[in-house]
Structure 1
Amino acid sequence: MLRHNILLLQGMGGTGKSTLLRYLRQWWQRTGFAKDVFYFGYDEKAWNLEQIIWEIGNQIYDRFDNFHRMLPEAKKQKLLKTLRAESYILILDNLESVTGQPLAIQNTLPEAERNQIKDFLTRLVGGETRVVLGSRSREDWLQPTTFKSNIYELQGLDKEARSDLAQAILQRHVTEKRIPSIRQDDNFQQLMKLLAGYPLAMEVVLANLKNQSPKEILAALQSADVKLDTPSEEKTKSILKCVEYSHSNLSPEAQKLLLCLAPFSAFINCRHIHNYIKELQILEPFKDYQFEKFDEAIQEAINWGLLSPMNLTPSPSPTRRGGEEDSPLLAIQPVFPYFLKTKLEVLDKQTREALQKGFKNHYQDLARSYNNLMESKDAQERELGREFCRLEYENLYNALQICLEKQESISIYFCLKKYFDLMNDNQSNLKLAEMVCQRLEKYPPAFIKGKLGYQIPLAIARLGWCQLSAKQYQQARISYEKTLQLYDALEGEAERQKQLWKAVSYHELGRVAQALREFEEARRNYQQALQIYIEFGDRYSCASTYHNLGAVAQALREFEEARRNYQQALQIYIEFGDRYSCAVTYHELGRVAQALREFEEVRRNYQQALQIYIEFGDRYSSASTYHHLGRVAQDLREFEEARRNYQQALQIYIEFGDRYSSASTYHHLGMVAQALREFEEARRNYQQALQIKIEFGDRYSCASTYHNLGMVAQDLREFEEARRNYQQALQIKIEFGDRFESTIRPHFY
């Protein structure tokens, strides 16, 4: 790191890269080696450059700095200047996830976002800040401009550390009396040299000393051509050979049982493993398996270090938290399922297909359970369901792929859709919906006429929801209209159920029309949905439609009508104990009161909404409420309070990658700066808002920003610039038939 300020720390899985980097982060901070250390792990999240800049900026600059009010390019330039001039450390770990390397957690970044990170790192070359990149691979996408030839290949532990680890492993597996004789054995010394201090290899191999001598183990590994003690490019294969050796020393029955774990990835919940066993036991190829010994086989895998106990929410600290030893939740070393899948190849086709079926059936049951948790009105249960889906995502996704391949039930999809809803990950949600609906097109016509036929229009409806969230309005309209036709074609459903599903589609078609500002069309669709709900006695579903009728009235400035509809919705949510759904209605009641300038009522409603979001751990939804609390403060000319709330909202939008929503907040930060006569600051924020609106094709919203840019130019006596911006705004208002806004406009829109 002293030779070149960017370093690639490379090592295969099982060498302890992340543990080392997290320790170094603490050590460097404690010893003052750097002013601060910033750690970003791609095993946890697909960090893009904007999120990295925001997180570092939060730690470097205080709240009185204007950093967060800058345009993105200006932020980047300021941060680069600081990092080049001052001694910080930036750690990007588990980078193999960025490009989706084999055995890596799949937090990939698109090529454009990878290039932004590469450009940022390139500009840090030669500066005072040091950068450490942790990865299993050579990360060629960052070459030749970043770490260049500065690569530190992480080898095994040094002699003292490997000796300590060996002692800990021996204490777990062999009697105290045998340990001294084992450690003095020349074959043990040779074995230690062969394992070369690689933690995973040591955990896997030394556990066999429980039943074998060092000489026997050494001979077996040498005959398998394990070469961890040499500068070999094939170390990962050698690790697999170590696993192979330990696996071969288990009883034939234990080997058979552990193969049942082959379909799993990343995570196993042992609380549910017996349900999985029940699914396998009813399948013919597994009739003679001794599943009563399954717990023992899993314990063997734990002893190898291939499964490790964990708490529900893993700690970022490298030290283990209390209670993990007894946890039923197990993390899977990436090499373990890979190894087991190679073993599956020797089984007959019938057994492999049965294992796949049992795994699929198990996760269909779990998906229902997790979905029920996420649908719960209890905040803790919702969070529990979301956390399980996060841990189980790969398993659920793999099971869904089996269902699609077999053209069977897609119930797992609805669970994953709900998970992405709660995570506010619209991009992943849309991608998944598109994939599922494309695969459904190949389902036979008989499927829609069967008892599961309803799943096809429901999946298309979910696609419509994702398209609407992505501002793909015409595509969303096509999807919802298609569902209306498909519901009529269902033969296995009662008329009441079909009508209620159609009501949902009418409701969503109302949302599409509302987004396109076709308010009368929106109102017709909502009233159509409401009529069906009332006719068939579905009072709870009426609530969301009353809420959206309130939104239409609000957009048409019919504020008393809006308030009546929102209060009707709120009454139903309270009646059904749906506290979480109350939040968004409180929020909108706040907006109505704000339009009527009833400021105390406004604050009460927004604070109610914010309290519920915080109670339910919904950080993303709180952003909109912080934004509107900013607008209240702005209306009351409490400009610094307004700025604080807007910046809080902006931070959350950037954290969640919601670039579109940040446009409105940039716009209002511009209004605050304009009111304080900070005209250049105002212009920067308006230009940032305008750039995002154009990027997302939101032409209508551009009008207000062009108008305010005109006002800034006018205040600066740049009259031709002002005229150009006002004419842009006027043209858009006329284009959208917004006669009211094109003729009568408040000073601050």
Structure 2
Amino acid sequence: MHHLAGLDEEAASQLVEKILQNCQATHYREDAKQGEALRDLQKRLAGYPLALQVVFSNLATKTPLEVLIALEKGEEEIDLGKGTGDKTKSLFQCIDYSYRQLLADTQKLLLCLAPFTGVINEGKLDIYTEKLQQQPVLAELPFAQWETVLKKAKNWGLLTTHPDVSFLLLHPLLPYFLKQRLQDQPESKEAIEVAFCQYYDRIGKMLNSFFNKNQARPTKEGLERVALEYENLNNALNLSLSNKMSFIAKYLPLYNYLNIYKKHEVNVSLCEKIESHLQNYTEEALQQDIGFEFVDLFLNLSMSYLLLKKYAQSEEYCWKQLKLLEPLINSNQKKRYDMGIVLAYRHLGMVAREQKRRDESQYFSQKALEIFIQIDDKVDQMAVYSDLGLLMASQHQWEQAEDFHQKSLKLCEETKHRYGQAENYFNLAYLFQDQEKYDQSEEYYQQALNIYEEFDDKLSQLGVYHQLGMIAESRNQLEQAEKHSLKELEMSIVSGNLYFQAEAYGLLSSVVLGQGEQLSEQGKMYRQKELEIYEQLGDVSGQANCYYKLGTTAMFENQPALSEEYLKKALEAPSEFESKDLLIINYCLGVATEDQGKLEEATQFYQQYLVIQQNLEDGVDFEIGALAMTAACHYALKEYQKALEYYLRSNELEPNDVWNLRRIAFCYGKLNDYSKALEYHLKSNELEPNDVWNLRKIAFCYGELSDYSKALEYRLKLGQLEPDNVQNLSQIGFCYSHLNDYPKVLEYHLKSNELEPNDAWNLGQIGFCYGELDDYSKALEYHLKFNELEPNDAWNLGQIGFYYGKLNDYAKSLEYYLKSDELEPNNTSILEEVGSCYYELEEYQESLEYYLKSNEFGPNNALALVRIGLCYIKLKDYPKALEYCLKSNELEPDEPYNSLIGSLYETMEDYENALKYYLKANDVEPNNVDNLNEIGSCYEELGNYQRALEYHLKSHELEPNDADNLDKIGLCYDKLKDYPKALEFHLKSNELEPNNAWNLRHIGFCYGKLNDYPKALEYHLKSNELEPDNAWNLSRIGFCYGKLNDYPKALEYHLKSNELELDNAWNLFRIGWWYFVLGNLTEAKNYFEKNLTFENNRFSLMNLGHIELCFGYRESAIEFYHKT
């Protein structure tokens, strides 16, 4: 028999490619499932050229998956050349020929190898034999003939010795042939499969012992054994699931093996395949051991999802695991139940940590730790301490993180868990690396590396070299970084680990780019190699990261379009960037698009940057660059307060960064905090004292703070550096204007005007200066020149209006204010000035119209509201006037308009409210004579003469020669019946105003009250000469004549008074009395009766009784007396 050796991997791949091309089946590589089936087929056929030819030729009519399933099941659905007569071409006939050389019983014995794929462990064949013998249908087979059967199979080339002498290699088509022979022997087939599953229960447990958590790490030999048995374990797993048998012993070595090599996606597929059989098991089975097997499965599936950063799925399977445990609470395996619960808690803690739900993570981890301590499980305690260490590190609680890792390390040492020590050294190294404590970090990495070398763990060594390279790069030890990266690259190429090759190229790119522009192309070449590997692996996340790095490199090389292209590719990839990376990507895209003038797009990227930044948890430490980027985004979006916060944080880290100091000043300026803006511009000036731009900003800030002396100082410094800077000359003039040095103002503005005579703004400033010097004609001249250059400048038109107003040409003033209003119709100041012009022109309705317009656009202007009130006063609409004056008072209650409000209330005879506002005015201006007089008058109207007198006397102290106030003091004394004092002040008033009829009357009244009727009559007659029709004065003259017994004269003046004021009861009584005294009883009776119609006067009743008695009407007289 000719032994058919397998081709090497490269030759086998070339042969497969040729066959696929001939079958037009190369497209199957592009499909994920079919591509995986292709690779599986090639692996199973072990490079046997004829096997590859005959099996792969079936791809002309079938898919790779269909061919693979047919091979596994031994179905006659694929063509293996059985119909040809050429035995060199018909492998099937070759195997059949060999098979037929055996005796019938030994043929059946050979059939027991049907479930195997790839290899048979000849050293464990006795265990398999034991399981076969336990099957009744197989018990009689000649198991003693195994050695003979195997030897013949070796001679025929169907079995060959593996380098590991305890294993035999199967020809790839032998299992297929044997499975076909079993198709018509269902009982034997079933018995063989059951025995095969039971056999791998034993083998699986042996293999899984290599992954015992109490051991450091599987040995190289252990991993190789699992690799050899991988297909057989998988076959046994599938058969167990199909037969609803226990699967855990076959599954666990597969899971742990894949986990060691970080093949987490394959692990997820494996676990999900098993989960799909869950529904086939009975409820009763799930409440026993099988239930615990699925609990373990869900735990592992949760971990695989966690390692793939699919946190929602990971958490989901933790809860599924806990749900599955519920019916197992009453099982007789309490320890297993408790372990299921505690491991679920641990995983929930890990998931929560990765999602930054830190309180929740700590809760579950601490809960798990408590239970592990309770059951004295040191290995799992060690794992949870590591979890807590990572959690604390994520919160930058460095001391607590180190403490937890050290506790974990101590347990490793106690349990002699050497590999666990390495993992803890690695975690501690990473912790110190995060804190930039690189010496300690490197020391721990080296300790981890030593242990990984002991175990020949190339994969973990690669991780250490990568981190050492990153540390060297961070320390700017670029040669050392390159050395570590090249070591990582070399090892990853030897081991064939493409992921670490990609990482090595990525780090080399960063290191080389950091060494200067001359190596830029080499750095980008390394990055392209990294990208190519990720494309080869189909790793979209890795590709996205490469595009991100290429994009940022392009940005720093001032290639915004290329940067935009790469960074958009990075964002388009379905990858999960860290938040900080997303910040940088969106910021760089904002800058790149802004540089290209794509402002709307740039705004979107800046806003997205800020959304991400706001979602970061409090306490995240930003590097200076990240702080500056965040600040710049806020600044670009005009969010100056936020921008300031980040610039200040950046300043704490780097206080002498001139650019950053100026950006801080910018922000304070935008926030109108010019004091702080000045502080930071001055700090920048200390570092760069001759920077004209910064000097200009310093001067500007001093100006905004009204410190024009300092503003002038810096403007003059700037003038030394830029003597012909027209704008600066103008600004120097502007500073002098605020210092009221108008000759200097004119000097500098005129200098500026000489250099640039058509500078409209400067002409305006010259005009303003002349205005301040009260030369309104010259001011008007320059503003009119300004107007010639810029006829539509609303501000200048307003200034022209202002100066025409100063020259009392209100018609011209109105003309220019109206022009200004046409250009800026909503300018409240101009509207008010238009109103003022109309007011001066006595066109009050038009004035009111513009004041009201001004109030629409600036409703909180107290002065404008008062002006509206004044217009309503002119239009005699006092309620409306009061309404607007009160609105003004609400805005500025301490302004002098309180007196105006008081006067309006007084006009409307509401003396209490009038008094209230006059008193408010008095609080502000206690020495205002007019206001004191008005307060006195209100108290008079309210009948409180004592208080009235108090305020009139205060006014008198301030202005002793105010005749009107002297009158009011006299009146108050009069009302208080202090007639001597009343007379004193009325006479003082008379000295100042001798022809005041009102005062003359009151002097006469006081003399009368003092019974000096001749003097009283004298002053009443003087008053009468000035005001002959004053009824009250006429009655007082009559009264005085009566007191002097000149009754005819008394009657004469009382009758004159009565003609002017018919219904005065007092006067009617006096007329009746004088008629009575003069004996004219009829007229007396008439006037007494008239008096009684207005008042119940007992003297009129008594006198009527006397008159009736005189007339002989006794009874009538008695009646009047009774009424009296």
Fold in common (TM above 0.5): yes
Choose the corresponding residue for 2:410, options 556, 559, 571. 571
Kindly tell me: are residues 250 and 286 of structure 1, through their superposed partners in 2, closer, same or farther at Cα, counting changes over 3 Å? same
User: How far 1:379 sits from its partner (Å)?
Assistant: 7.2
Give the match for residue 31 of structure 2. 111
| Residue 434 (structure 2) pairs with residue 599 (structure 1) | no
Farther-moved stretch of structure 1 (601-610 vs 247-256):
247-256
What is the CA-CA distance between 1:115 and the residue it aligns to? 9.6
Question: Take 1:670 and 1:708, find their aligned partners in 2: how far apart are those partners?
Answer: 22
Q: Residue 353 in 1 paired to residue 273 in 2?
A: no
Name the SS of the counterpart of 2:140 in structure 1: coil
| 1:371 alignment counterpart | 208
Work out whether 1:410 is the aligned partner of 2:247. Answer: yes
| Separation in structure 2 between the aligned mates of residue 396 and residue 115 of structure 1, nearest angstrom | 22
Residue from 466, 471, 481 that aligns with 1:632: 471
Tell me if 1:228 matches 2:80: no
Structure 1 Cα separation of the partners of residues 388 and 96 of structure 2: 64
Per the TM alignment, residue 664 of structure 1 is displaced from its structure 2 partner at its CA by 7.2
Q: What letter corresponds to residue 171 of structure 2 in structure 1?
A: Q
Change (3 A) 1:305 1:594: same
Give the equivalent residue in structure 2 for 1:695: 574
How many residues are aligned here? 546
Give, in whole Å, the separation in 1 of the partners of 2:221 and 2:333. Answer: 34
Q: What is the match of residue 397 of structure 1?
A: 234
Partner AA of 1:430 in structure 2: V
| Counterpart Cα distance in 2 of 1:662 and 1:427 | 20
The separation in 2 between residues aligned to 1:630 and 1:718, in whole angstroms, is 39
Q: Counterparts of 1:741 and 1:731 in 2: how far apart (Å)?
A: 17
- Paired residue type of 2:99: H
Structure 1 residues 443-482: aligned runs within 5 Å: 443-482=281-320
Matched with 1:5 is none
Aligned twin of 2:614: 734
Cα deviation 1:433-479 (Å, max 9, x = unaligned): 11111112332111121233211111111111111122221011010
Is the Cα–Cα contact under 8 Å of residues 3 and 157 in structure 2 kept in the other structure?
no
The 1:139/1:301 distance shift into structure 2, 3 A limit, reads closer
Q: Does 1:549 align with 2:359?
A: no
Q: Is the 8 A contact 1:703 1:728 kept in 2?
A: no
Does the CA contact (< 8 Å) of 2:392 and 2:400 recur in 1? yes
> What is the rounded CA distance, in whole Å, between the counterparts of 1:516 and 1:656 in structure 2?
33
Alignment RMSD (CA, Å): 4.2
Q: Distance in 2 between matches of 1:629 and 1:477?
A: 33
Larger radius of gyration: 2
- Structure 2 matches for 1:701-716, cutoff 5 A? 702-703=581-582, 706=585
Letter in 2 for 1:489: P
Distance 1:436 1:138, change over 3 A: closer
Look up the equivalent residue of 2:245 and give its one-letter code.
E
Is this contact kept in 2: 1:579–1:612, CA < 8 A? yes
**TM-score for both structures, normalised by structure 1:** 0.65
Cα displacement (A) at 1:551: 0.6
- CA deviations 1:574-594 (Å, max 9, x no partner) are 111111122121011112222
TM-score normalised over the length of structure 2: 0.44
Question: For residues 588 and 725 of structure 1, do their structure 2 counterparts lie closer, same or farther at Cα, with a shift above 3 Å needed?
Answer: farther
Correspondence list, 1:283-682, <5 A: 283-312=135-164, 327-347=165-185, 349-375=186-212, 382-411=219-248, 412-490=250-328, 491-646=330-485, 648-649=487-488, 668-669=507-508, 671-678=510-517
Q: Distance in 2 between matches of 1:702 and 1:546?
A: 29
- Superposed displacement of residue 744, structure 1: 5.6
Structure-1 residue corresponding to 2:708: none
- The residue that corresponds to 1:257 in the other structure is 109
In structure 2, the partner of 1:242 is: 94
Deviation at 1:730, TM superposition (A): 4.4
Amino acid at match of 2:382: A
What's the CA shift for 1:303? 0.7
Residue deviations 1:3-33 (CA, integer Å, cap 9, x gap): xxxxxxxxxx9865x54xx5xxxxxxxxxxx
1:109/1:651 CA distance change after superposition, 3 Å: farther
User: Per-residue CA shift, 1:248-278, capped at 9, x if unaligned?
Assistant: 2222222121111111111111000111001
Checking the alignment, whether the CA contact within 8 Å between 1:95 and 1:135 is kept in structure 2 is no
Q: Secondary structure at the match of 2:276?
A: helix
Distance 1:333 1:612 in 2: 40
Rounded to whole Å, the distance in 1 between the matches of 2:522 and 2:418 is 40
- In 2, distance between residues paired with 1:739 and 1:257? 71
Q: CA 1:599 to 1:425, structure 2 compared with 1: closer, same or farther past 3 Å?
A: same
Secondary structure in 1 aligned to 2:277?
A: helix
- Matches of residues 39-50 of structure 1 in structure 2 within 5 Å? 40=10
Which one-letter code corresponds to 1:346 in the other structure?
A: D
Structure with greater proportional helix content: 2
Residues 718-729 of structure 1: pairs in structure 2 closer than 5 A: 729=609
**Which one-letter code corresponds to 1:735 in the other structure?**
N
Tell me, what secondary structure is at the counterpart of 2:85?
coil
Aligned partners of 1:493, 1:653: CA distance in 2, in Å?
A: 49
Q: 1-side partners of 2:492 and 2:380: how far apart? A: 29
Report the counterpart of residue 272 of structure 1 in structure 2: 124
Q: Alpha-carbon deviations, 1:698-747, whole Å to 9, x = none? A: 35253365289689989x99999999977665442223346634686579
Confirm or deny: 8 A CA contact 1:270 1:330 kept in the other structure: yes
More off after superposition, 558-567 vs 719-728 = 719-728
Partners of 2:332 and 2:583 in 1: how far apart? 48
Kept in 2, the 8 Å contact 1:464–1:475? The answer is yes
Amino acid at match of 2:211: M
Once the two structures are TM-superposed, the CA of residue 673 in structure 1 deviates from its matched residue by 4.2
**Which runs of 5 or more structure 2 residues have no equivalent in the other structure?**
39-48, 61-81, 528-544, 550-568, 630-1124
Greater Cα shift, 716-725 or 301-310: 716-725
| Whole-angstrom CA distance in 1 between matches of 2:94 and 2:368 | 63
Alpha-carbon separation, structure 2, partners of 1:737 and 1:289: 70
Amino acid paired to 2:269: K
Q: What SS does structure 2 have at the residue aligned with 1:330?
A: strand
Q: How far does residue 486 in structure 1 lie from its aligned partner after superposition?
A: 2.1
Shift in CA distance, 133/266, structure 1 to aligned 2, threshold 3 Å: closer
Q: For the residues of structure 2 that align with 1:279 and 1:647, how far apart are their CA atoms?
A: 53
Q: Distance in 1 between matches of 2:237 and 2:56?
A: 31
2:577 aligned partner, one-letter code: D
Query: Which amino acid is the alignment partner of residue 252 of structure 2?
Result: F
Do the aligned partners of 1:663 and 1:692 also contact (CA within 8 Å) in 2? no
Superimposed CA distance per residue, residues 532-569 of structure 1 (whole angstroms, 9 cap, x where no aligned partner): 11223222211111111111111111111111110000
1:343 Cα shift?
1.5
Indicate the residue corresponding to 1:191 in structure 2. Answer: none
Q: Percent identity?
A: 25
Structure 1: gaps spanning 5 or more residues = 1-12, 23-38, 43-90, 102-107, 119-131, 144-223, 230-234, 313-326
8 Å Cα contact 1:468-1:512 kept in structure 2: yes
Contact kept, 8 Å, 1:539 with 1:572, in 2: the verdict is: yes
Once the 2 structures are TM-superposed, how far is the Cα of residue 668 of structure 1 from its aligned partner? 5.0
CA distance in 1, matches of 2:326, 2:307: 26
8 Å Cα contact 2:291/2:324 also seen in 1: no
- 1:612–1:439: structure 2 CA closer, same or farther, 3 Å change rule? same
Q: Distance in 1 between matches of 2:332 and 2:504?
A: 46
SS at the partner of 1:272?
A: helix
Q: Secondary structure at the match of 1:424?
A: coil
| SS of residue matched to 1:522 | helix
Q: Is the 8 A contact 2:311 2:351 kept in 1?
A: yes
Change (3 A) 1:618 1:724: farther
> CA separation in 2, counterparts of 1:94 and 1:227?
25
1:741–1:724: structure 2 CA closer, same or farther, 3 Å change rule?
farther
Which of 689-698 and 425-434 deviates more? 689-698
